[in-house]
């Protein structure tokens, strides 16, 4: 009996133990999956500066990027989702972490390249440790600083000016059209030559002879080629030339559909250049005597009054044999066209009366504005004075120093216009990369994918070297600072066969591959006027120019 009871108790105990074992060793209750916590960028910095603004440039090449997130990141997802790149190429970086792995630090293995654009990037494959993805991709561009090293050995200021004038003159000498000797419109223009730009190139010939870049005999020979072509071959309309010519045939190349005839402003630039050469080649020998006679024949053939379009008290810019006066553009100031009226008033054969200047260009005084910018008074013109070529083209040969009429002191006009342009660039209200006391100058030039009259109220970040360099007579200190920056700091990018490239935009690392006659010519001429007043003295010595200017009411020491 006792044995039976013990057996039953044993069975019962075993069952209890088995039941207990079953409860302890069974599957744990299924826990719910944790909710993924999404990632979001709180801040992104480069060398401690936030990069969500618009002016993300001028960073040192030893930059360190940090991306602070709202949660702890899964380190295994970082390398494939977070990067610094340039032009599609990924920059090698070391990754590290701060703030308990909620901040990713990217340190480039090697210094970045100077003056390059980069992208700091993170996409939605970046995950948190709680499996949440980055909700909004990070895509921030930035640019590194200009290489501060000099690109060329330092030379004296005079030697630098010599170098710039000599190299730039090559555009008009080595690259001149082989048949006509005239200046090509730009370095890609083939047979298309520019009459106004050729006028600038002609003014540069006496400079080149005086500086021993070429001999007087070489200069004379080139002028004989040019003048013979203009006199005997080139198309003319009532004595005026078109904007563009074919440099081989002399036939008109249309500047636009209806601009396929006379361009009076370009003609004035050309005539001013020819008169400058006439005054320089003043020898008694047959060759120089004949050259002067041929220049006078071209000069005397221009029918300036024809361009009053029926006797109006204003000159018109264009006339076409096909479209007559359809362009309908009156030459009115203030702008670059003053020299047109000065040449028209100075003609020996068809001079305009003074009323045409006063009513036409000066608009009976309406061109006076008297605005002030940066506490600098500007007698004439529109907002901020316009592009700087307004103060260059007419004054390549006409000396503005002491020049006055009833409307303005022209020395004050050109100097103050230049200073306003300089101050605007120095203050850099739009925050463009590179603008400053050593990098300034807004004027008409090539731009990325086009051409534009750059000026403070039309500023897209493009600096044109001709603007500051052609202002040497007005702002010698500021222009020299700009020249040194262009040459020493940017010379590897903008100094070429024919001098400085037409323009550049540092913010986009864009550097023009072009050189233009109307931009290169003023550099040579105005640097020389700054140094010796050679071109001013030559054109200013023309007796008919003195007479014409006096007849319009101008006064100056040289008149």
The model's pLDDT over 389-401, given as tens digits with 9 standing for 90+, comes to: 999 999 999 999 9
Residue 545 has pLDDT above 70, yes or no: yes
pLDDT of residue 31: 62
Burial group, residue 143, by CB count within 10 angstroms (0-12, 13-18, 19+): buried
Burial group, residue 225, by CB count within 10 angstroms (0-12, 13-18, 19+): middle
Residue 13 has pLDDT above 70, yes or no: no
Angle formed by the axes of helices 264-280 and 216-232, nearest 10°: 140
State mean pLDDT over 255-284: 98
- pTM, rounded to two decimals: 0.90
**Using one digit for the tens of pLDDT, what is the confidence trace for 498-513?**
999 999 999 889 999 9
For the chain, the structural domain boundaries read 37-143, 157-551
The answer to whether 344 touches 549, Cβ cutoff 8 Å, is no
pLDDT of residue 243: 98
Alpha carbons 68 and 390: distance in angstroms, whole number:
51
Enumerate the H helices of 242-383 as residue ranges.
264-280, 286-300, 338-346, 354-356
Task: Give percent of the chain with pLDDT exceeding 70.
Answer: 93
Alpha carbons 131 and 129: distance in angstroms, whole number:
5
pLDDT of residue 11: 43
Alpha carbons 513 and 503: distance in angstroms, whole number:
9
- Rounded to the nearest 5°, which phi and psi values hold at 409? -95, 110
Residue 72 has pLDDT above 90, yes or no: yes
State mean pLDDT over 282-301: 98
Quick check: helix, strand or coil at residue 295?
helix
pLDDT of residue 35: 78
- The hierarchical CATH code for the domain 37-143 is 2.60.40.1220
Cα angle 452, 454, 455 (rounded to 5 degrees) comes to: 150
Name the pLDDT band for 57 (thresholds 50, 70, 90): confident
CATH superfamily of 157-551: Glycoside hydrolase 144 (GH144) (1.50.10.140)
pLDDT of residue 7: 43
pLDDT of residue 294: 98
State mean pLDDT over 241-255: 98
Q: Report residue 352 CA to chain centroid gap.
A: 37
Q: Average pLDDT of the chain?
A: 94
Residue 12 has pLDDT above 50, yes or no: no
State mean pLDDT over 2-7: 45
**Using one digit for the tens of pLDDT, what is the confidence trace for 156-208?**
999 999 999 999 999 999 999 999 999 999 999 999 999 999 999 999 999 99
Residue 522 has pLDDT above 80, yes or no: yes
First to last CA, the chain: 152
State mean pLDDT over 342-368: 98
pLDDT of residue 55: 66
Task: Record the tokens describing residue 179, joined without a space.
Answer: 């048949």
Residue 63 has pLDDT above 80, yes or no: yes
Alpha carbons 396 and 206: distance in angstroms, whole number:
13
């Amino acid at each position: 009996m006792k044995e039976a009871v013990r057996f039953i108790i044993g069975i019962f105990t075993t069952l209890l133990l088995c039941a207990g074992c079953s409860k302890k060793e069974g599957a744990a209750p299924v826990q719910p999956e944790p909710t993924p916590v999404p990632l979001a960028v709180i801040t992104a910095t480069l060398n401690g500066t936030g990069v969500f603004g618009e002016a993300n440039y001028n960073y040192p090449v030893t930059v360190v990027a940090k991306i602070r997130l709202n949660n702890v990141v899964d380190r295994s997802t970082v390398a494939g989702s977070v990067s610094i790149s340039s032009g599609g190429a990924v920059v090698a970086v070391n990754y590290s972490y701060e703030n308990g792995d909620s901040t990713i630090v990217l340190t480039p293995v090697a210094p970045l390249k100077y003056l390059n654009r980069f992208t700091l990037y993170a996409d939605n494959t970046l995950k948190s440790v709680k499996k949440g993805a980055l909700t909004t991709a990070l895509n921030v561009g930035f640019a590194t600083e200009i290489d501060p090293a000099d690109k060329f050995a330092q030379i004296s200021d005079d030697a630098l000016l010599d170098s710039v004038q000599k190299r730039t003159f090559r555009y008009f000498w080595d690259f001149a059209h082989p048949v006509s000797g005239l200046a090509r419109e730009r370095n890609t223009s083939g047979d298309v030559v520019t009459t106004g730009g050729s006028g600038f190139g002609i003014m540069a010939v006496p400079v080149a002879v005086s500086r021993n870049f070429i001999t007087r005999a070489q200069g004379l020979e080139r002028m004989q080629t040019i003048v013979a072509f203009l006199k005997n071959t080139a198309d003319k309309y009532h004595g005026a030339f078109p904007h563009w010519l074919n440099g081989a045939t002399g036939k008109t190349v249309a500047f636009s559909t209806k601009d396929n005839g006379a361009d009076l402003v370009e003609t004035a630039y050309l005539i001013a250049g020819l008169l400058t050469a006439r005054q320089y080649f003043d020898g008694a020998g047959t060759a120089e005597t004949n050259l002067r006679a041929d220049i006078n024949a071209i000069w005397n053939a221009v029918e300036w009054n024809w361009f009053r379009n029926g006797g109006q008290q204003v000159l018109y810019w264009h006339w076409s044999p096909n479209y007559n006066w359809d362009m309908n553009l009156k030459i009115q100031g203030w702008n670059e066209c003053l020299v047109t009226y000065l040449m028209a008033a100075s003609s020996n054969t068809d001079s305009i009366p003074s009323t045409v200047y006063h009513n036409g260009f000066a608009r009976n005084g309406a061109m006076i504005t008297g605005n002030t910018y940066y506490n600098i008074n500007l007698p004439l013109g529109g907002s901020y004075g316009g592009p700087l070529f307004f103060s260059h083209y007419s004054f390549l040969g006409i000396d503005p120093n002491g020049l006055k009429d009833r409307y303005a002191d022209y020395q004050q006009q050109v100097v103050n216009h230049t200073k306003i342009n300089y101050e605007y660039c120095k203050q850099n209200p739009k925050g463009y990369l590179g603008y400053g006391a050593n990098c300034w100058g807004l004027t008409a030039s090539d731009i990325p994918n086009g051409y534009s009259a750059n000026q403070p109220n039309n500023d897209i970040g493009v600096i044109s070297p001709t603007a500051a360099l052609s202002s040497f007579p007005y702002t010698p200190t500021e222009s020299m600072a700009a020249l040194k920056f262009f040459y020493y700091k940017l010379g590897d990018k903008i100094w070429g066969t024919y001098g400085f490239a037409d323009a550049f935009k540092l913010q986009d690392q864009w550097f023009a591959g072009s050189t233009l006659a109307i931009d290169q010519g003023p550099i040579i001429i105005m640097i020389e006027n700054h140094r010796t007043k050679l071109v001013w003295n030559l054109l200013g010595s023309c007796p008919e120019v003195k007479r014409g200017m006096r007849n319009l009411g101008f006064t100056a020491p040289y008149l």
